[in-house]
Structure 1
Amino acid sequence: MSLAGWARWTWRQLTSMRTALLLLLMLAVAAVPGSVFPQRSADPNGVAQYFDNYPEVAPILDAVQLFDVYTSAWFSAIYILLFISLIGCVVPRTGVHWNNLRSAPPAAPKLFSRMPAHATVKLAKNSDLPERAEMLLRKQGYRVVRKGKSVSAERGYLRETGNLVFHFSLIGVLIAVGIGGGTSFSAQRVLVEGETFVNNLASYDSLSPGTFFNEQMLVPFSVSLDNFEVDFDLKNRTNVGTPLDFRAYVSSKLSPDDAPQKGLIRVNEPLAMPGANLYLTGNGYAPHITIRDVDGNVTYAGATPFLPQSSTYTSLGVLKVPDAEQQFGIVSFFYPTVDTLTTGALTSIYPAPIDPLLTMNVYVGDLGLDGGVPRNVYALDTSKMKQVAGGKSGVKGLRLQLGETAELPNGLGSVSFDSIKRFASLDVSYNPGGLWVLIFALLSLAGVTTSLLVPRRRVWVRNTDEGFEVAALARGDDPILEKVVADVAAELKATNKKGKK
């Protein structure tokens, strides 16, 4: 076989419906790892945590792009091949379908008895049967052609139309997903009560852009977290302390001169902004802590988000003080309603701040902030540090109740627990292809429903010397085909009797 012959054979195989269905199945299977392993585009911290938990396996998985499934070379190859296969399959079928719509129904066969359903009716007077058959079949929605003593009728082209709409909609979904994913972005921001962020790259804690995304696509706006409220279950004894509702009250502006617009963000109720939607993905406490050196100068001050470690909001926070005479860091736990276990360990027995307590372990040494390597703000690398309070240091860790101040060890100064604020974790995302994916998905559903419900059928009627014959043929299974023939024969026979009267 020549090169051109091989090319034609390859193209026929690629554009066959069987190949398209196989590629669609492969795409579904290829998407499974995206729900099993954390993805950099959606959960960069999860990927980093996976590398920490599985340092031997993670590089292997990363080499085969299992942390970037939807932008991987192998997923893209399946995606592109499916796109080409569908186009190569659907476009020729569209031309054939268009020609069929314009062509006349096929002529009546010579032997009606060879058709899957047929009937023979004897009538004495039957000269106007072709005219009556044409009128009857037209009323039933058939395209009809009368030629001599026979009538040819056909209906059900809407079935193929629905099939083509379904496949074109799949192509539309692929295009919308590709363009939407390429121009989309997903960003995260932890916002403490009273803080404001603006929609630019510098304001986000992390951002995962699409392939074609650029900073100019970000529509200017600002959002402030005014207040965050949580409703806890107090009535059900078995679920006391279970969160029932989260509410983030925010104020937004489209420009500095605009009046602030009040808004509310809840779980599954995002705030719609121009070019972005803001989702509530997490929350916790942000104790306001002030650290002063021995001379009373403030070296650290602010509300620090603490990450919840339990359903009762026992939370972990890290404070890094690089601007003191001696760098030091603090690993701190916050207990909203503190209690002591039988083992002597502290815990929180209720998620609301009824009896709050801060505990602190202090480390002195190199914080690693000057090496140019990005550091996790929620973790403290103690490999080059010495513990001077808490643990096995020989000095008890610090404990502070709300409003208290304690002296730091080694002449580091003092630390005070000033107040408690709440924070909200916001996910800011935008995908311009989302609406089009929905539209094409609905079109595909309508198309496949039409193709399944509308039968493709041909009916022929022929006048004979002794009466007439009726035959029918269906494309695919048609359980009522014989009933169709019987009904047409009965109608023609009835109209013949009326004509005699």
Structure 2
Amino acid sequence: MDLKKTLPGDRPVATEERTSAGAPGPRRVHPVLALLRNSWRQLTSMRTALILLFLLAVAAIPGSVLPQRSVNIEDVNRYFIENPDLAPVLDRLGMFEVFASVWFSAIYLLLFTSLVGCVVPRLAEHWRAMRGAPPAAPARLERLPQHATLTDPVGGAEEIGAVLRKRRWRVAVRGDTVSAEKGYLKESGNLLFHFALLAVLAGVGFGSWYGWHGNRLLVAGQDTAFCNTLQQFDESGLGPRVNSADLPRFCVELTDFEAEFLPSGQPSSFKATVRVDDGPPRAFSVNSPLRLDGASVYLLGHGYAPVVRYTDRYGQAQTTVAPFLSIDGMLTSEGVAAFPDANVDPKAGGERDPNAQVAFEGLYLPTAPDEPPFTRSAYPAERSPALMLWAYRGNLGLDAGIPGSVYRLDQRQVDSGRLKRVGEAKLLRVGEKMTLDDGSSVEFLGTREYATLSVRHDPGEEIALGGAAIGLVGLLLSLVGRRRRVFFRVTSPSTTGRSSLVEAGGLPRTDYSGFAEEFKQIIEAVERAGTAAPAPDGGERAMKEGSVKR
């Protein structure tokens, strides 16, 4: 019957129903609370955690296969050129910024929440199990997978418990029964592994919040050195808790670069030598980054920067060092040498004519073939360097304020006719010169090597590394540990009318093929202890039954 009634204008009140016997019936749970409770249970289940861990591993695959903007933006730009139809679709899906995408962060947070909700209750349960006594012996020991029966004199329950304690079993003696348990390291290792996984996730999250990175293409030479500021990076990213003032102050100059290649053209080693803040030269390689105070410098790539000198129609000479980006494994490289301040008439007061700007689109071959076509380098080292140049004159579009790439011409200017090609392409060796139709000339002076550097600070990497090491320890413990229990029951002579009878049983809690042998060794140890102790009635102890049930 209803104990409460809802009056007009009152809010509905949950009611309590009584059965015909007067006892309260089941309480009605609010559907929203029931949904939240069931959702939490499903999220914190081990199955969901494993599924999310698998999804996180799958979601990280594009970050390893596709180039990432946070690592090397030049590779991303090259991917857009090589795949003009597919690249925009992948970009909208966040495939070039996988680890900063919304969907990857969602999987990451769900996994973290699932692990916390799954591991913490198990830790409390494991702690109670370790502090508690082993369970009481079952009534029918003969039904256990391992079973044996021994006769007097093997001693009483306390003597059997002492034997098991010497073998590092947790023992509980209850009257004439002995309960022993072993193998808690398996669950301890399992929990340690999961907490280590939480530490790895926490380290990654901490590093993303308080870390920063910047990429720089650094050409060898003192005039191209850079300092650790956001304005001098080609691409950079700061964590939400970091601002530009937090970056450590240092300057880096590339003094030398050594690249070795196999006869097939595959690189065998890269080594860069830099000078930091006018200090002594310091060398580092791909697998051995340069460790600085508050930052680490990683070597990502290598290439060549042709040195080009242009002499305009008025006799004014300008020299530029233009890094070219490699387009294949043989370091065939493409780039642009631009001269926006060329052809300034001294009689016109030094005013620059934006329609008389000059640029050279180039293809650099470290080892040019002996015969045309000169479209691909034969070897990545500079054995026979050559530079193919196409000259352009007009408006480069640099004054429009529209961001563009320094490694290629603005194609919109070329399509609109504001930037026109002049003459034919020409292949230049080091020291050779090409003359244009207006009397100006361009000369190939040589090259400088450059290195693509990634400067990073990740305060969470030590946390993640420590978590990974602890996780390996926990995994080994969980694989080595075997949870098992043994029970003994001593029957006194007054009960059986004969000598004391000891019944033993064993139960492995997990799949353990060696438990039968271990159980046999325990029985033998109990026998030896009984033989060593004087028997109260002088009788001899015998094994009545030692068969093992499977």
Q: Which TM-score tier does this pair reach, normalised by the shorter chain? A: 0.7 to 0.9
Deviates more, 1:328-337 or 1:18-27: 328-337
Q: In the alignment, which residue of structure 2 is the partner of 1:392?
A: none
- Structure 2 residue 186 is matched with structure 1 residue 159: yes
Query: Cα–Cα, structure 1 residues 355 and 116, in superposed 2: closer, same or farther, change >3 Å?
Result: closer
Q: In the alignment, which residue of structure 2 is the partner of 1:281?
A: 300
Runs of 5+ in structure 1 lacking a partner?
234-238, 254-258, 390-394
**Preserved CA contact (<8 Å) 1:118 1:482:** no
Q: In the alignment, which residue of structure 1 is the partner of 2:8?
A: none
- Structure 2 residue 436 is matched with structure 1 residue 408: yes
Runs of 5+ in structure 2 lacking a partner?
1-28, 343-352, 494-499, 536-550
Q: In the alignment, which residue of structure 1 is the partner of 2:518?
A: 484
> Which residues in structure 2 correspond to 1:43-442 (within 5 Å)?
43-123=72-152, 125-126=153-154, 128-194=155-221, 195-232=224-261, 239=263, 243-253=267-277, 260-298=279-317, 300-324=318-342, 325=353, 326-341=356-371, 343=372, 345=374, 348-381=377-410, 382-384=414-416, 385-389=418-422, 395-411=423-439, 413-442=440-469
Q: Which whole-Å CA distance do the structure 2 matches of 1:418 and 1:448 have between them? A: 60
Q: Which whole-Å CA distance do the structure 1 matches of 2:415 and 2:456 have between them? A: 37
Q: In the alignment, which residue of structure 2 is the partner of 1:451?
A: 478
Q: Which whole-Å CA distance do the structure 1 matches of 2:88 and 2:325 have between them? A: 27
Query: Cα–Cα, structure 1 residues 16 and 246, in superposed 2: closer, same or farther, change >3 Å?
Result: closer
3-state SS of 1:79 partner: helix
Q: Which whole-Å CA distance do the structure 2 matches of 1:491 and 1:81 have between them? A: 51
3-state SS of 2:512 partner: coil
3-state SS of 1:42 partner: coil
Alpha-carbon displacement from aligned partner over 1:400-430 (angstroms, at most 9, x marks no partner) = 443344433335x332333432222222223
Determine what percentage of the aligned residue pairs are the same residue: 40
Amino acid of the structure 1 residue aligned with 2:217: V
Whichever of the two has the greater Rg, that structure is 2
Query: Cα–Cα, structure 1 residues 446 and 428, in superposed 2: closer, same or farther, change >3 Å?
Result: same
Deviates more, 1:275-284 or 1:137-146: 275-284
Alpha-carbon displacement from aligned partner over 1:307-341 (angstroms, at most 9, x marks no partner) = 33455544333111211241121112334444442
**Preserved CA contact (<8 Å) 1:37 1:66:** yes
Q: Would you say how many aligned residue pairs link Structure 1 and Structure 2?
A: 481
- Aligned-pair distance for 1:72? 2.1
**Preserved CA contact (<8 Å) 2:62 2:98:** yes
**Preserved CA contact (<8 Å) 1:406 1:414:** yes
Alpha-carbon displacement from aligned partner over 1:353-408 (angstroms, at most 9, x marks no partner) = 4544333211112212122221111111232444443xxxxx34345443344433
Amino acid of the structure 2 residue aligned with 1:470: A
**Preserved CA contact (<8 Å) 1:334 1:358:** yes
Q: Which whole-Å CA distance do the structure 1 matches of 2:147 and 2:531 have between them? A: 21
- Structure 2 residue 502 is matched with structure 1 residue 468: yes
- Aligned-pair distance for 1:141? 0.6
Query: Cα–Cα, structure 1 residues 99 and 417, in superposed 2: closer, same or farther, change >3 Å?
Result: same
- TM-score, normalising length: structure 2: 0.81
- Aligned-pair distance for 1:187? 2.1
Query: Cα–Cα, structure 1 residues 396 and 34, in superposed 2: closer, same or farther, change >3 Å?
Result: closer
3-state SS of 1:449 partner: helix
Q: Which whole-Å CA distance do the structure 2 matches of 1:146 and 1:491 have between them? A: 18
Q: In the alignment, which residue of structure 1 is the partner of 2:350?
A: none
Query: Cα–Cα, structure 1 residues 160 and 336, in superposed 2: closer, same or farther, change >3 Å?
Result: closer
- TM-score, normalising length: structure 1: 0.88
Q: Which whole-Å CA distance do the structure 1 matches of 2:101 and 2:327 have between them? A: 34
Q: Which residue among 34, 39, 42 is the counterpart of 1:5?
A: 34
- Aligned-pair distance for 1:201? 0.9
**Preserved CA contact (<8 Å) 1:470 1:485:** no
